[in-house]
Structure 1
Amino acid sequence: MSRTEGGCLCGAVRYSFEGEPAGAMVCHCTHCQKQSGSAFSTILSLPESALEVRGEPIIYRDHGESGKAVDRIFCGACGSPLFSKVEVAPGMVFIKAGTLDDASGFAPSMHFWTRSKQCWVETGDLPAFEANPG
């Protein structure tokens, strides 16, 4: 099994997981746009039990466009967004792909919350959902 590692900009919080994530996707919700400081957030999903975290990240409780709770987890020292946990997917964690030491092997397979996407963002041939998939 392969081990994937990542962490925040300053190195105060590091994480790792074994094996492949359940999925790689792009979220276009307005809250992810604000939290990432970008037009979207590229994320990997995996069972929370598979994630090993070293350091003391901070949790900010948000309520996303769906109205459901979203815990946004970030480094308290440098502010790097690291993970999210969402009420609509209990037991899962969503890793911000940009925090991986090497994100090159994780291409997104879908886009969601596209009703909030920036007009200049192209989704290509990937499945796209106006809100949460499913």
Structure 2
Amino acid sequence: MPLTGHCLCKAVTYKVDVDKPVLTGYDHCDDCQRQSGSTYSLVCVVPKDKLTVDGPLKKYEGTADSGNAVYRWFCSECGSPIAHEPSAAPEIIALKGGSLDMEIKKGLKPDTEIWTVSKLPFCQEKLAKPFEHMPQ
């Protein structure tokens, strides 16, 4: 079964002709924190040649610590991040795990963390007040 996903407004959709990601993990780099607006980005690495994308996609070119380009893909309508594409590894692309369809992302099993040098200290703690939904 292929991996499928979309942006928030559903203008951008994608399909990856693989059964599961090569790697699923948490990316703690500062750029991913800023792009996601969160403490890390859940990434699902897949072969780029298996990915098909439809819709109004934009790409932002940034520079990795290595000096190589990193292209961050997002929907030009709603701004949702879709993926990041490292030019240093042209055979892969890192999809943003939150953009996968719900039944697929529920089955993800992150097994890797990268850029832990930038991992925020409070990400180590278990919170005392978990809420299943918003508190009432």
**TM-score normalised by length of structure 2:** 0.85
1:104 correspondence with 2:106: yes
Secondary structure at the residue paired with 2:124?
Answer: coil
Which protein is richer in helix relative to its size? Answer: 2
Aligned to 2:77: 77
Cα deviation per residue 1:5-50 (whole Å; 9 max; x = unaligned)?
A: 1110001100011222111011100010001100000000011111
- Moved runs in structure 1, 4+ residues, more than 3 A? none
d(CA) in 1 for partners of 2:82, 2:24: 15
CA contact (8 A) 1:31 1:65 kept: no
Structure 1: gaps of 5 or more residues: 124-134
**Equivalent residues, number:** 122
Aligned to 1:63: 63
Aligned to 2:14: 15
Give 1:56 deviation, angstroms: 2.5
Aligned to 2:117: 115
Give 1:4 deviation, angstroms: 1.9
Give 1:80 deviation, angstroms: 0.2
Aligned to 2:46: 46
Q: How does 1:22-41 map to 2 (within 5 A)?
A: 22-41=22-41
Give 1:109 deviation, angstroms: 0.8
**TM-score normalised by length of structure 1:** 0.86
24-33 vs 82-91, greater mean Cα deviation = 82-91
Aligned alpha-carbon RMSD (Å):
1.4
Percent of paired sites with the same residue: 37
Counterpart residue type for residue 41 of structure 2? S
d(CA) in 1 for partners of 2:66, 2:30: 11
Counterpart residue type for residue 48 of structure 1? K
Give 1:121 deviation, angstroms: 1.1
CA contact (8 A) 2:32 2:41 kept: yes
Aligned to 1:6: 5
Cα deviation per residue 1:62-120 (whole Å; 9 max; x = unaligned)?
A: 11334321100000000000011002221111100000112011111110101111001
d(CA) in 1 for partners of 2:22, 2:92: 9
